[in-house]
Amino acid sequence: MNIANKSNSLQTRSKQTAPPLTQNIMKLLQVIRTLIAVCSIAAATQAGAAAILNVDSNGVLTGASGVTINGARYDVTFADGSCNTLFNGCSQSAFAFSQSTDALAAAQALMEQVLVDGPDGNFDSDPSKVFGCSQFLCQSFIPFGKQYADRFEGALVNNWQESSYDNYTTAFQLSDTDYTDNTFINFALFQLVSEESVPEPGSLALMGLALAGLALGRRRRKA
């Protein structure tokens, strides 16, 4: 074979078969495209699984279903009364949460998923539309601790008419104080529905990229 023919033969083979590194890059790009599609589906699934607000015939928010807290699903109901009457004598075993971190996570979820303005009503900018409240402020207790016999500790959500003032914190309150006639305080009663969690789209993407990197590394070692 002369030099010209050998050169033509090499050019033909290079056109027919891409270098191994180029093939790996193309496969990695395909994996990334697939991950983008999966993340889009996951994000749509999470959006479709938003909390369902429970609103009565008078337009008053009475609670919500499917509130996501630390990956688990809860139903919540707003109620008037005292800790003693609503939680079996204000017993800690009757509380949905036993740690301040979990109760504060529930408070944040309440503000971000339930006490919101939307097509069902303006429950953030108009706190008087929340059950048990009829003022410019609506406070919701979420009990989690019982360090003293006559009082409980709970997360306290402050839902102001001026949304920029909205916040949550922890506070102590007497167990037998009845808030039925109070116009700006209620209790948020949470009930666990499902502990199943949906991975965040970002987590799915990172996991997929890690797997793709491992696969690419194996192909390079084999080459």
Burial group, residue 95, by CB count within 10 angstroms (0-12, 13-18, 19+): buried
- Can you tell me the distance from the alpha carbon of 62 to that of 43, in angstroms, rounded to the nearest whole number? 28
Kindly report the number of other CB atoms within 10 A of residue 26's CB atom: 10
Task: Report the run of H or E that residue 62 belongs to, with start and end.
Answer: strand 61-69
The end-to-end CA distance of the chain, in Å, is: 29
State the Cα–Cα distance between residues 137 and 159, nearest whole angstrom: 6
Ranges of residues in the chain whose predicted pLDDT is under 70: 1-29, 31-32, 34-49, 196-223
Joined together, the tokens standing for residue 221 give: 């070692």
The answer to whether 142 touches 155, Cβ cutoff 8 Å, is yes
Q: What pTM was computed for the model?
A: 0.69
pLDDT digits (tens, 9 = 90+) for 175-219: 999 999 999 999 999 999 997 655 555 555 555 555 555 555 555
Q: Is 103 exposed, middle or buried (0-12, 13-18, 19+ CB in 10 A)?
A: buried
Closest CA to 168 of 178, 184, 154, 183: 154
Query: In terms of residues, how long is the chain?
Result: 223
Angle at 90 between CA 84 and CA 92, to 5 degrees: 170
CA distance 97 to 132: 22
φ, ψ of residue 57 in degrees (nearest 5): -65, -15
Among the residues of 156-223, which ranges form H helices?
Answer: 201-222
> What pLDDT, on the 0 to 100 scale, is given for residue 43?
44
